[in-house]
Chains A and B, each alone.
Chain A
Amino acid sequence: MAAIFRPSANYWAALTLLGMAAICLSGIGWLWFWPRTDYARHVRWLVSQPVPFSHAHHVAGLGIDCRFCHSSVEVSSNAGLPPTYTCMTCHSQIWTNADLLAPVRQSLADDKPIVWNRINDLPDYVFFNHAIHITKGVGCSSCHGEVDAMPLSYKAKTLTMQFCLDCHRDPGPNLRPKDQIYNTEWRRTAETPSPEMLMTEYHIGGRNLTDCSICHR
């Protein structure tokens, strides 16, 4: 009886096995790397909003401070989203008939809140606190990017656990002087106090910031 397999079958068998191994490995690799990509984290994705609010116009153009709208950022875990009333402090005077602002006026008229689409979000088992980061010298732009250059808001950083840990392991380089916290264009310069000096100034270092219990409860 003739052989069922020709000699080249050995080659194909080895190739198949190697191929299967490669598929498994690349599958695992894909599962590992894919969620960490900017794409999967929706970084720089534009999100449609009921009102195309432009941070670029309001912050860079008009010079409105972050805290005018995000008023609880210094005291609470939650930075706070401006109520319709805050929008209407100005827009009852200017652009009162703009079509773009119709949903805002409608919200006030109907006493129905505006429903915004989330841009930055953390999983429910992560408990981020804005106030402590602001107090300890972490600026808004460290996590939210250059918001003043965003005509439409988007997520600037991956906000993965790796992103958090990079800073929690070595906070110094990300700290900035007190008066620069809300400056979205701030960059470390030669005049900036050294990371070590800032760590001392903000009394950082007594606590192990990589304890699980710092962020997870």
Chain B
Amino acid sequence: MSSLSHQWRSLEQLAEDPDFVTRAVQEFPGLAEALASPHDRRRALKLMAAAITMAGLGGCDWAPEGTLISAVRAPSNIVPGLPNFYASANVLDGYATGVVVKHQMGRPIKVEGNPRHPASLGATDVFAQAQLLDFYDPDRAWAITVHGSPSDQSDLRTELAAQRAKIAESRGNGFRILTGAITSPTLTRQLDALLAIYPEARWIQWQAISRDNVAKGAVLAYGKPVELVLKLDAADVIFAIDSDLLSSAPGHLRFARDFASRRNPTRTQKMSRVYAVEPTPTLSGSVADHRFIAGPDELHMVVMALAAGILEGSALSGPPDWVGQVIADLTANHGRALVHVGPDQPPETHALVHAINEKLGARGNTLELIAPVAYPVEQAEELADLVKDMRTGKVSTLLIMDSNPAYAAPGGLSFAAALKRVDFSLTLTVLPNETSQATTWAVPMAHPWETWSDGRAFDGTATILQPQALPLYDPVSIHTMLALFTEPAPAAALDAVQATWKTRMGEDFEQGWRHALASGVVPGTANSKSDVTLRPDAGRQTPPEPANHPLTILFRPDPHLWDGRYANNAWLQELPRPLTKLTWDNPLLVAPERAEQLKLRNGDMICLSVGDASVTAPAWIMPGQAADCVVALLGFGEQHAGTVGSGAGFDFYPLAGRAGAPSLQKVSGHVVLACTDHHNLIFDETREYVRHATLAEYNKNPQALATGKPEPHLYRWKPKGPAAWAMSVDLNACIGCNACVVACQAENNIPVVGKEEVIREREMHWLRIDRYYEGSPIDPDSYFQPVLCMHCEEAPCETVCPVGATVHDSEGINVMVYNRCIGTRFCSNNCPYKVRRFNYFAFSHEEQRPPEARNPDVTVRGRGVMEKCSFCLQRIAEARIAADRENRPVGEVRTACQAACPTQAFTFGNMADPDSEVAKRKRSLLDYALLADQNTRPRVTYEARIRNPKPPNEGNGG
């Protein structure tokens, strides 16, 4: 810690903040604090004596007792002890991503991606993984309520009969249905049927995280709605303008896979080059070869200059010099270039980018246009109209399904106040929320794992969602709820979904239906290419000049809570955000320049106001953000989210949709935020944790980044087992999305610890993604590095364990024997990679989820026990047993992180087999060991990151 680090994680580390240095050099920072409090000797002796006695008693283990419950009828296909897998999909804002749910004795225990599904290709995002916890959430709505008092199905049906009569009389006048974006063919069919019966009724689709601009931009460019399907594997040059390409655009998992396929020079013929311009760092920007920062004004100029340069070949004065280079690179790669713009940019920008892509020959090569998948509407306008109608008393019946406008509608609209004017309002929701509190009726909705439904992927491919378990409570399916407004005894959800597909599949229905359920996709349902032609005026669109304000608020979804729907999900709350590494909170992100101007440190309270609304929240300094922007992350600060989510963070929706210049003041107060950035710091002599080079440097000297030969050892123990398990992590592929971290959490029964304990550096994630910065805090380069137990062949942890609780097995896995562990924590102290986690409390037992939600193949650890990554030992054991039963070598084993990764950054397997994928990757010229100078011979190695900047600007990535 003596001089400036070459690569740094947090600003405190860069600035060598004295507090930070003191903390960082300690292995257990909380310990000093605890020891500092006065204890007399007598009390200390008492505690020690008690501890020894308890430790002795705790070791006693009597013969286990319990019961065995046999089935009455053996359910077909269920063999106790063997898993079952059923396909489904995770639907977020309308778009479905295929998943396969793993069951043990009929209970869902893990989500995996569906390799056959075009939006998944076997990978999942954080939301799909965390759906498991949502399903078992004890806070789920379980009873029908009227004004908060319990009611029941028969009362509901009586009331709905009255409503039906009323609506029928007025032909639907005054009847409004509010949903999120919908791609479900069945629901669309039902809604169309309902609107045919009640022609005066209105169906409003609205979601808090709007993609209106994308849809409107397409209409401006082509005259009718179309959607984009990108082919990033065909793109040599990509220009991402404030883009959500790799993080949240529909199909982003697929895009990330295609993107990564062109990023490792040892495996691809030609590396792609990525330019990104953005006001605040995104995942796409973080992995770009050139990242440029631009606030709203500058971004406007960039877009205008790009359009002028590419569409008309003229240069505009004003924009930064780099735009010329980007234009030159894009035009030089005709048919292999692509420009992508994110949903926060105005529709005109989208239209211009459509025109630019046509001009660059992208259509048909690096992207396709298809007929729209989501029902295209102008959501913001529709919601505004609805609220106006509600306020003027034109709405008598309001049905809100799976949407939370009382919380997430822009504050300027005052949705909750308008709701009071509606006579009959009903919320159908899985989790109680602000809207279900505010409407007259609240009805528990069937979780997607409890009922039948369907959904469509970004390219239109349909998936049938089948129930994964019997309903936990007494919920109503979304299909049934809608049908109850037209008929007293509607068909069950299964019949409704089958009715849709009977007409679409025709005579082959029986076979087609079974195949669709088994494979998770309905073949041939992808939308066909659209033959729309670009409107001549598409290239002449002018995005509106940004308001001339000194400060702009960027409302962005929290990367893990999204619009707030996952606020009660503890896994997602505690998952460190990809770039800020914050958990349980959403401080306002301010640029370093502005922080300096306002004399802000991380955690200082600031007041952000627009018009007459203001929110006071802590500040967080975001390196690489435009100085004139402040980022408000949405999804936090709910008041009725449940025990986990209520009150966590700050609600910035009230500031949304308000006119006027935002202002930012420092106010008194400081809070400590649960950021894991400075936790588990590792120290390398070279201060280069993520080895990297430019493509040109790599081509000149391909060997430069590899570790080289390990140092000699005095004593060397060689594992003699039939396999040598090892992992290679490709840092060229890692986009920092965190899917692996939450997959590991789900697979290995890893508990959450809560905000307080995260602040005490006691988070339990076995796998973490370190994010390093390099360069100045104003505009740093960022690098992601997943760090898990390295399974060192010469493991420093093993030599210091007094009880042999951490030992090597013959296949080279550093195993943790929980029952031997007495909690000295010497191993963690001696681990150079800081990957060991200690159960300071009985975190697992305090978790509010039923035991059946856990993975039965992994031990649940108790208090006082050390734990860490086991290379998914349970999966290895499963493969090992299967292989030994057939007397063949152990085949492929996929760890949970590897299976979830959208970019295939992880490769796991038997290193002893020279033909295995992991052995091949370990022979890569980029292969290096982290902290190689420690000579621990880690079984996990990394492939160094190669960046591909345009040659004249070598090394000048931003």
Contact = CB atoms under 8 A, between A and B. Distances in A.
A132 B884 contact: yes
A203 B811 CA distance: 18
Given A84-B70, A114-B70, A217-B859, A40 B63 contact: yes
B64 A122 contact: yes
B857 A217 contact: yes
Contacts of B82: 72, 75-77
Interface residues of B, number: 46
Contacts of A113: 69-72
B208 to A, nearest CB: 42
A61 interface: no
B956 interface: no
B69 A116 contact: yes
A14 B888 CA distance: 67
Contact of A208 (B60, B71, B810, B876): B810
Interface string A75-92: 111101111111000000
B61 A123 contact: yes
A206 B873 contact: no
A64 to B, nearest CB: 16
Contact of A217 (B67, B72, B874): B874
A41 interface: yes
Given A207-B721, A216-B859, A83 B68 contact: no
B332 interface: no
Given A35-B61, A217-B874, A115 B881 contact: no
B67 A115 contact: yes
B859 A83 contact: no
Interface in B70-115: 70-74, 79-82
B71 A83 contact: yes
Interface stretch (B576-584, B663-671, B753-761, B812-820): B812-820
Given A85-B72, A116-B68, A207 B810 contact: yes
A127 interface: yes
A81 B81 contact: no
A207 B810 CA distance: 8
Contacts of B81: 72, 76-78, 80
A155 B65 CA distance: 12
Contacts of A31: 56, 60
A107 interface: yes
Interface residues of A, number: 49
A208 B819 CA distance: 20
B817 A216 contact: yes
Contacts of B69: 81, 113-116
Contacts of B73: 83-85
Contacts of A83: 70-74
Contact of B64 (A75, A114, A118, A207): A118
B60 A35 contact: yes
Contacts of A99: none
A84 B72 contact: yes
A80 B75 CA distance: 13
B860 interface: yes
A135 B884 contact: yes
A191 interface: no
A124 B72 contact: no
A211 B812 CA distance: 11
A108 B72 contact: yes
Interface in A115-135: 115-118, 121-125, 127, 129, 131-132, 135
B720 interface: yes
A55 interface: no
A107 B72 CA distance: 7
Nearest to A72: B79
B881 A129 contact: yes
A176 interface: no
A80 B817 CA distance: 28
Contacts of A75: 79, 82
B859 A125 contact: yes
Interface in B884-899: 884-885, 887
Contacts of A208: 720-721, 809-810
B68 A35 contact: no
Interface string B716-743: 0000111000000000000000000000
A42 B64 CA distance: 9
Contacts of A41: 63
B951 interface: no
Contacts of B80: 72, 76, 78, 80-81
A136 B67 contact: no
B79 A76 contact: yes
Contacts of B551: none
B62 interface: yes
B870 interface: yes
A113 B876 CA distance: 34
Contact of B870 (A78, A84, A131, A217): A217
Contacts of A162: none
Given A41-B63, A76-B80, A132-B885, A212 B815 contact: yes
Nearest to B806: A212
Interface string B788-818: 0000000000000000000101110101011
A217 B810 contact: no
A168 B137 CA distance: 42
A112 B809 CA distance: 45
A179 interface: no
A118 B65 contact: yes
B63 A124 contact: no
A213 interface: yes
B549 to A, nearest CB: 57
Nearest to A38: B63
Nearest to A112: B72
Contacts of A82: 70
B28 to A, nearest CB: 26
Nearest to A77: B81
Contact of B809 (A72, A131, A203, A212): A212
Given A35-B62, A81-B68, A136 B884 contact: yes
B858 A217 contact: yes
A168 to B, nearest CB: 13
Interface string A140-179: 0000000000000001000000000000000000000000
B64 A121 contact: yes
Contacts of B62: 35, 40
Contact of B79 (A80, A155, A212, A216): A80
Nearest to B66: A118
Contacts of B547: none
A203 B857 contact: no
Contacts of A129: 881
A21 to B, nearest CB: 18
Contacts of A118: 64-68
Nearest to A124: B859
A82 B74 CA distance: 8
A211 B857 contact: no
B877 interface: yes
B818 A213 contact: no
Contacts of A111: 72
Contacts of A125: 818-819, 859
Nearest to B723: A207
Interface of B: 56, 60-74, 79-82, 720-722, 807, 809-811, 813, 815, 817-819, 857-860, 870, 873-874, 876-877, 880-881, 884-885, 887
What 6 pairs between A and B have smallest CB-CB spacing?
A78-B81, A76-B81, A211-B809, A121-B64, A208-B810, A81-B70
7 contacts: A77-B82, A78-B81, A81-B69, A118-B68, A121-B65, A127-B857, A211-B811
Given A115-B69, A121-B63, 16 more contacts: A31-B56, A42-B65, A81-B80, A83-B71, A84-B70, A84-B72, A108-B72, A113-B69, A113-B72, A115-B68, A116-B67, A122-B64, A125-B859, A132-B881, A216-B815, A217-B858
Interface of A: 31, 35, 40-42, 72, 75-78, 80-86, 107-108, 111-118, 121-125, 127, 129, 131-132, 135-136, 155, 203, 206-208, 211-214, 216-217
